Amino acid sequence: MRSWVAVISFPGSNGDQDALSALRDEVGVDARLMDHRETTLDGVAAVVLPGGFSYGDHLRCGAIARFAPVMTEVRSFAARGGPVLGICNGFQILTEAHLLPGALLRNRTLRFHCHWTHIRFERHGNAWLSNVRPGEVLRLPVAHGDGAYFADPETLDRLEANGQVVARYCEQDGHLSPTSNANGSSRSIAAVSNEGGNVVGLMPHPERATNPLIGGEDGLRLLRSALEILAVPA
């Protein structure tokens, strides 16, 4: 039976506890930490790759983490259609693992960005987007130094045509502007998915916006999709 959400802990992850408590305490699903050396995903209904600085971000963000033993299992899990969500460093790991297209470059400001931002959803309907509508704007925090999404123009056109652009940085009212695209992402892209839609990566942190006490709860709009994921029999 597939009944729980695995949050993977890499050496240097620092968003794993946030993701765990957001899913377990705020969303109310069975979520457990899983060590990066684990070699089976038996019983796992969804995988979350959390934020942080896996392996010190040496060489490139996420470049070393993709060789972690558990990533072999994550790769086949994703190929079978299993829902995988990469947040921040998790997004970087998924691009380095070629489970998502593109790459995350140094912010155009060369500064670490740690602030609240707005993202506008471009699509819905895949596993992680069951609770958001196209055009819906969420307010979420970002915390990254290498968050500028990049893909070549042909790839970007293909992503747009396939509906793989999940969300873009925007102003509060949803319109795009150079100011809202603070890190300099190609076409303001904040989140993308694979072709199947089951693998999603985003730079903002929904797990750090799950309660008004910590500044907002818009992250629950995304994370509550775990309830639907777990409700579907394997």
Which span sits near another protein by CB under 8 A: 43-51, 146-154, 193-201, 218-226? Answer: 146-154
Q: Which of 22, 65, 68, 148 binds another protein (CB under 8 A)?
A: 148
By CB under 8 A, name the one of 83, 102, 147, 197 that touches another protein. Answer: 102
Q: Are 231 and 4 in contact (CB under 8 A)?
A: no
Measured in degrees and rounded to the nearest 5, phi and psi for residue 197 equal 85, -5
Helices (DSSP H) in 97-234: which residue ranges?
153-162, 219-223, 225-231
> Is residue 108 near another protein by the rule CB under 8 A?
yes
207 is catalytic: yes
Name the phi and psi angles at 189, rounded to 5. -75, 125
What lies within 8 Å, CB to CB, of 185 at 6+ separation is 147, 148, 149, 150, 169
What is the x/- site pattern for another protein, positions 177-216, by CB under 8 A?
A: -------x--------------------------------
For strand 199-202 and strand 113-121, is the pairing parallel, antiparallel, or unpaired? unpaired
Half-sphere exposure of residue 220: CA atoms within 13 angstroms, side-chain side: 15
Q: 3-state class of 67 per DSSP?
A: helix
Stretch that binds another protein, among 33-41, 125-133, 148-156, 226-234 (CB under 8 A): 148-156
Residue 178 DSSP one-character state: T
- CB 105, min distance to another protein, A: 6
Member of 39, 40, 110, 213 binding another protein (CB under 8 A): 110
Cβ distance to another protein smaller for residue 108 or 133:
108
Spatial contact of 119 and 191, defined as CB atoms under 8 Å apart: yes
Residues in the chain: 234
Of residues 128 and 169, the one with the C-beta less far from another protein: 169
Binding window for another protein (CB under 8 A); candidates: 25-33, 57-65, 72-80, 215-223: 57-65
How many angstroms separate the first and last alpha carbons of the chain?
7
Q: Minimum distance from CB of 187 to another protein (Å)?
A: 13
Among 2, 24, 75, 106, binds another protein (CB under 8 A): 106
Q: Which of 33, 105, 137, 176 binds another protein (CB under 8 A)?
A: 105
| Interface size with another protein, residues (CB under 8 A) | 18
